[in-house]
């Protein structure tokens, strides 16, 4: 129908709704859309449905007709609105024109414009109807799903709807249609709570590494074969790799020869060269991610299989020969690629051999070195530590780490190496990632009690790494380089790459290249530490739910407002308890487990009176 047929009282379509033309001239139309007010619009803004006359829209009542017969007569053909109205409703009036147009707008049997209407074939109608049925079924499924969520229930088919909730809970996405539909805030905590409430997640789901943006998959890929190069044969030495029982990636061992200490470190830089694919992958991770449920490695599995000390009969190492003076001053006599034959011991096994050679002599050296560091202001913070593990069935075990001399021995041997390497790098002008730490924010006397050690820890400044040497106040050193964990920490690997290049007379990374790597590691280190801390707390709370009858000791270590901060040593867990009188710090309480809030990471206890 031509727009020239427009006149007063014509039925037109305006913004998909009917309207009546009340006046018109060559430029503008006045229409009544039935909402109580008139509009002036351009002729091109409306579509003529019927020339009228139509008094008002209230006469557009429903019309009975035979739509399916009209469709069957015209199936696969083209038509116009007047013919469709006459076939379906036996007349072409404003009422039947509107009814016919609604059929076109519906889109099942017809589509197009008033002048050119496509009549769908039987196959097209069947396809459209099938899609509509599927959409209706999906809408019903969605509403039924929301009803179950409101009731805190979960059905097997609900997993597909919950994926955007999972993404918010894991911190990989900020929006969730489900949370919006349920009137909940789109936060990781609300998402986590919903997943726990409905049962889609259980307490074994640890969302914190994902929230930190960290991969839960270890690095993958192949590594080259160990290069054929000259190595010092040190297999005649007794080399002891002392670590926690069950450790899977031992990367350091110690030996004694002619009064000097050898510290052997996994020779990772022999395989992982600067800017290789494995190096770039490790740089993007920064360090191993140590979680109670397992370790996410920054290097491919082959690195551990080939390089970890003691996993093979003979291991390649980068060995540091250290000489310690009577005053505890350490000097790096030489550093050499080597072959070592390593015996693995747990800390407990080593503890039982401390009075036997060579551990007796190495222990004496460690004590001399520790005394010198103490004179230089080293700060010793003695707070409980635990080892927490989750087995394949999700059972959590927690055991305290005992303050063993064997741990101190290994720690001081590694610190000797870090100090000696720092001095060696300074003398030989090797750009290397130094670790520095400023003195505490306020001077404090030596700590003796748990509350004093807790207060001392709060005064400590964070350590940092860079290309410029400086004091490490916490360790009591003028210079220090982390060197002894290249399988576990990326900047330790960078230090090894620099040392190896120096030994072979190859080009070194310059200070800017070094700082690029330091910057990459620094950007990740906070996330790694946060994810590890949050994960340990998560699994500690799960441990409590698995041991609902837990009863143990807490120690008041601080006061905040009207609550006491209480440390539970055997769990290394801090909680808060209502103050009851003015109990002194370090008072001991008997606590009984009450409940946990996994979402907020809170644990609640009741005090039990003797």
* pLDDT tens per residue across span 337-356: 999 999 999 999 999 999 99
pLDDT at 541 over 80: yes
Work out the average pLDDT over 326-341: 97
pLDDT band at 320 (very low <50, low <70, confident <90, very high): very high
Indicate which CATH number applies to the domain containing 148. Answer: 1.10.10.10
Work out the average pLDDT over 110-134: 96
What is the number of alpha carbons within 13 Å of residue 446 lying toward its C-beta?
A: 6
Q: Give the least confident one: 222-236, 251-265, 365-379, 441-455.
A: 441-455
Same domain, residue pair 115 and 158:
no
Indicate which CATH number applies to the domain containing 596. Answer: 2.40.50.140
Residue 462 DSSP code: P
* pLDDT tens per residue across span 444-456: 788 999 999 999 9
Element (DSSP H or E) covering residue 491: helix 490-504
* 3-class state of residue 295 by DSSP: strand
pLDDT at 245: 86
pLDDT at 554: 97
What is the number of alpha carbons within 13 Å of residue 492 lying toward its C-beta?
A: 22
pLDDT at 499 over 90: yes
pLDDT at 598: 97
Work out the average pLDDT over 381-399: 95
422 Cβ contact partners less than 8 Å away, ≥ 6 residues apart: 432, 434, 469, 477, 479, 480, 481
pLDDT band at 4 (very low <50, low <70, confident <90, very high): low
Same domain, residue pair 95 and 136:
no
pLDDT at 2 over 80: no
In a domain, 242, yes or no: yes
* Average pLDDT taken over every residue of the chain: 94
In a domain, 171, yes or no: yes
pLDDT at 446: 84
pLDDT at 282: 97
Among the listed residues 132, 110, 113, the one whose alpha carbon sits nearest the alpha carbon of residue 121: 110
Domain extent for 18: 3-123
pLDDT at 443: 79
pLDDT at 1: 42
Work out the average pLDDT over 194-211: 96
Task: Find the Cα–Cα–Cα–Cα dihedral 155, 158, 164, 167, rounded to 10°.
Answer: 50
Work out the average pLDDT over 62-69: 92
Same domain, residue pair 73 and 140:
no
pLDDT band at 62 (very low <50, low <70, confident <90, very high): confident
Strands 342-346 and 239-243: parallel
In a domain, 63, yes or no: yes
In a domain, 192, yes or no: yes
Using CB atoms within 10 A of its CB, is residue 377 exposed (0-12), middle (13-18) or buried (19+)? middle
Torsion over CA: 150, 156, 162, 166 (sign)? positive
Same domain, residue pair 369 and 379:
yes
Q: Give the least confident one: 370-384, 439-453, 522-536.
A: 439-453
Work out the average pLDDT over 399-428: 96
What pTM was estimated for this model as a whole?
A: 0.85
In a domain, 564, yes or no: yes
pLDDT band at 231 (very low <50, low <70, confident <90, very high): very high
Among the listed residues 126, 52, 143, 151, the one whose alpha carbon sits nearest the alpha carbon of residue 95: 52
Give the total number of structural domains in the chain.
4
In a domain, 225, yes or no: no
Same domain, residue pair 162 and 111:
no
pLDDT at 518 over 60: yes
Return the top range by mean pLDDT from 220-224, 497-501, 576-580. Answer: 497-501
CA distances from 146 to 44, 177, 181, 194, 574 (A): 44, 11, 8, 12, 38
pLDDT at 3: 53
pLDDT at 490 over 80: yes
Same domain, residue pair 89 and 70:
yes
pLDDT at 246: 83
Strand partners of residue 466? 434
Asked which of 123, 143, 177 is the last residue of a domain, the reply is 123
Do residues 531 and 208 touch, judged by C-beta distance below 8 A?
yes
pLDDT at 377 over 60: yes
Could you tell me the two tokens for 459?
Answer: 């005064």
300-304 long-range contacts, Cβ below 8 Å, gap at least 24? 300/218, 300/219, 300/220, 300/221, 300/222, 300/223, 301/218, 301/220, 302/222, 302/223, 303/223, 303/268, 303/271, 303/272, 303/278, 303/487, 304/248, 304/249, 304/487
CA 584/CA 586 separation, integer angstroms? 6
Q: Is the peptide bond before 358 cis (omega within 30 degrees of 0)?
A: yes
Asked which of 483, 503, 538 is the last residue of a domain, the reply is 538
Same domain, residue pair 327 and 448:
yes
């Amino acid at each position: 129908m031509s727009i020239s047929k427009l006149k007063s009282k014509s039925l037109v379509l305006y913004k998909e709704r009917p309207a009546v033309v009340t006046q018109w001239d060559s430029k503008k139309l006045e229409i009544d859309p039935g909402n109580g007010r008139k509009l002036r619009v351009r002729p091109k803004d409306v579509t003529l449905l019927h020339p009228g006359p139509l008094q008002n829209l209230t006469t557009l009542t429903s019309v009975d007709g035979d739509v399916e017969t009209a469709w069957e007569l015209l199936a696969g053909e083209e038509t116009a609105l007047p013919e469709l109205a006459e076939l379906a409703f036996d007349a072409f009036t404003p009422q039947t024109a509107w009814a016919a147009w609604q059929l076109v707008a519906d889109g099942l049997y017809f589509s197009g414009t008033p002048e050119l209407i496509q009549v769908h074939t039987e196959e097209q109608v069947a396809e459209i109807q099938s899609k509509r049925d599927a959409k209706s079924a999906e809408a019903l499924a969605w509403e039924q799903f929301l009803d179950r969520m409101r009731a805190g229930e979960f059905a097997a088919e609900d997993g597909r709807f919950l994926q955007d909730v999972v993404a918010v809970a894991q911190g990989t996405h900020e929006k969730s249609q489900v949370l919006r539909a349920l009137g909940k805030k789109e936060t990781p905590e609300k998402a986590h709570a919903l997943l726990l409430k409905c049962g889609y997640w259980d307490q074994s789901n640890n969302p914190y590494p994902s929230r930190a943006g960290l991969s839960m998959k270890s690095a993958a890929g192949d590594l080259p074969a160990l290069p054929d190069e000259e190595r010092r044969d040190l297999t005649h030495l007794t080399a002891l790799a002392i670590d926690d029982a069950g450790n899977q990636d031992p990367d350091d061992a110690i030996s004694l020869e002619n009064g000097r200490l050898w510290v052997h470190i996994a020779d990772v830089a022999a395989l992982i060269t600067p800017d290789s694919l494995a190096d770039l992958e490790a740089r993007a991770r920064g360090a191993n991610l140590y979680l109670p449920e397992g370790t996410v490695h920054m290097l491919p599995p082959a690195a551990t299989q080939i390089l970890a000390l003691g996993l093979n009969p003979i291991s390649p190492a980068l060995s540091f020969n250290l000489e310690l003076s009577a005053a505890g001053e350490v000097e790096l006599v030489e550093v050499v690629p080597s072959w070592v034959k390593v015996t693995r011991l747990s800390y407990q096994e080593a503890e039982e051999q401390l009075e036997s050679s060579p551990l007796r002599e190495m222990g004496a050296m460690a004590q001399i070195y520790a005394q010198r560091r103490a004179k230089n202001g080293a700060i010793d913070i003695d707070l409980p530590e635990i080892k927490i593990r989750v087995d394949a069935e999700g059972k959590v075990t927690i055991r305290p780490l005992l303050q063993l001399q064997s741990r101190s021995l290994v720690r001081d041997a590694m610190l000797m190496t870090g100090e000696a390497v720092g001095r060696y790098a300074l003398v030989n002008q090797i750009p290397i990632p130094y670790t520095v730490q400023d003195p505490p924010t306020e001077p404090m006397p030596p700590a003796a009690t748990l509350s004093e050690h807790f207060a001392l820890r709060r005064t400590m400044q964070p350590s940092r790494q860079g290309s410029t040497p400086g004091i490490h106040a916490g360790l009591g050193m003028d210079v220090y380089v982390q060197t002894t964990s290249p399988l576990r920490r990326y900047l330790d690997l960078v230090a090894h790459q620099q040392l190896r290049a120096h030994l072979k007379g190859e080009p070194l990374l310059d200070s800017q290249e070094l700082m690029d790597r330091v910057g990459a590691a620094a950007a990740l280190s906070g996330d790694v530490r946060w994810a590890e801390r949050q994960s340990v707390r998560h699994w500690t709370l799960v441990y409590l739910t698995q041991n609902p009858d837990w009863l143990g000791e807490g120690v008041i270590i601080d006061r905040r407002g009207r609550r006491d901060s209480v440390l539970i040593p055997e769990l290394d867990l801090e909680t808060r308890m209502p103050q009851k009188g003015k109990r002194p710090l370090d008072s001991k309480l008997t606590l009984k487990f009450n409940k946990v809030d996994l979402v907020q990471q809170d644990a609640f206890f009741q005090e039990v009176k003797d």
